[in-house]
Amino acid sequence: MEFSDSGPGIKDPKRIFDPFYTTKEVGKGTGLGLSICYGIVKEHGGEILARNREEGGATIEVRLLASDKPAMVETTPPKRRESLLAGRVLLVEDEAAVLDLERDVLAGAGAEVTTSTSAADMQQRLREGAFDVAVMNGSMAGGCNVKEIYEWIAGNCPGQEKGLLLTFSSVTDEETRTFLQEHGVPALAKPFEVADLIEQVRALSQREGKTPKTPTDTEEKSEDKAATAGAGA
C-alpha cells in the first residue's frame, strides 16, 4: 500500500521513524507517532518505508506479507487480546505532549494510569494511595533531583521506591548514574522505544514484594469483613 501527497516532502526520510525525531517546534510534537506505526507494522512481519517523490511530495509505503490461504469466516467471537500491562501506574511528566503520548501508550497496554505534572502533585498522589509503578521524568524543570525523589518516596511510601522508573531527555551526570546503579533504579534515556517503556513497566509491576494495597482495596476488605460479621450475628 502506498500513500502519497503533494507537499514539500520529508526533510530526512531515513530518520522519520526514529523515536522522538520531529521537525516540529518544541512542545508541538513528541516524534513518537510514526515510531508507533513502525512498531505495529513490524509486529505483523511487514515493512514501512518513506521517500520523497521527484515531482514533489512524499510517499509512505507499507508492505505486508500476503497469505495463500483463503480468508476464514469467523464463526465464533474473537478472543479478547490479553493486556500487556495491569495495575496502577503513576505517570509524572511536565511536558504536556510527552505526558499525553506516554499515558496513551501505557493505558492502551492495559494499565490504569494516573497523571501528574509536578513533584509536589506526585507526592500528594502517593500519599493518597499506592501504585504498582511510578514513571517519572527525572529532569523536570524546577523539580527535585533524583536522590531527593528517591529518598522522599522511600521515607514516606516505604516499598514504593522499588517500583520507580525514571526517564531522561539527556545523559545524566556521573553522580546520578552511580546513585541509580547503587539503588537498582531503572532508567530510560530518550529517545527510547515504546516497547522498552512497556517492558520496563511490566517488569516493575510483576516484581516481588510490591507495595501495600491501595486505600480502596483496604476499604473493600473492611466492608467484606463487616458483611461477614453481620451475617454471622
- Tell me if 59 sits within 8 A of 4, measured CB to CB: yes
- Which residues form the domain of 148? 88-214
Domain co-membership, 93 together with 194? yes
Strands (E), 110-161: 112-116, 133-137
Give the total number of structural domains in the chain: 2
pLDDT in tens, the chain (233 residues): 999 999 989 888 888 887 666 766 655 555 667 777 887 788 778 899 999 999 999 999 999 888 777 766 666 665 655 678 889 999 999 888 888 888 988 998 899 999 999 989 999 999 999 899 999 998 876 667 889 999 999 999 999 999 999 998 776 688 888 999 999 999 998 778 888 899 999 999 998 656 444 444 434 444 444 444 444 44
Whole-number Å distance between alpha carbons of 63 and 184: 41
Whole-number Å distance between alpha carbons of 192 and 183: 22
- Tell me if 164 sits within 8 A of 134, measured CB to CB: yes
Q: Is residue 233 part of a domain?
A: no
Q: Is residue 223 part of a domain?
A: no
Pairing of strands 187-189, 112-116: unpaired
Which domain CATH number covers 52? 3.30.565.10
Domain co-membership, 48 together with 15? yes
Give yes or no for a cis peptide into 78 (omega within 30° of 0). no
Q: What is the pLDDT of residue 143?
A: 64
Domain co-membership, 103 together with 206? yes
Domain co-membership, 97 together with 176? yes
> 50 - beta bridge partners?
60
Whole-number Å distance between alpha carbons of 1 and 53: 16
pTM (whole model) above 0.75: no
Phi and psi, residue 52, nearest 5°: -90, 150
Domain co-membership, 129 together with 207? yes
Q: Is residue 228 part of a domain?
A: no
> 3 - beta bridge partners?
60
Domain co-membership, 107 together with 205? yes
- Tell me if 130 sits within 8 A of 96, measured CB to CB: no
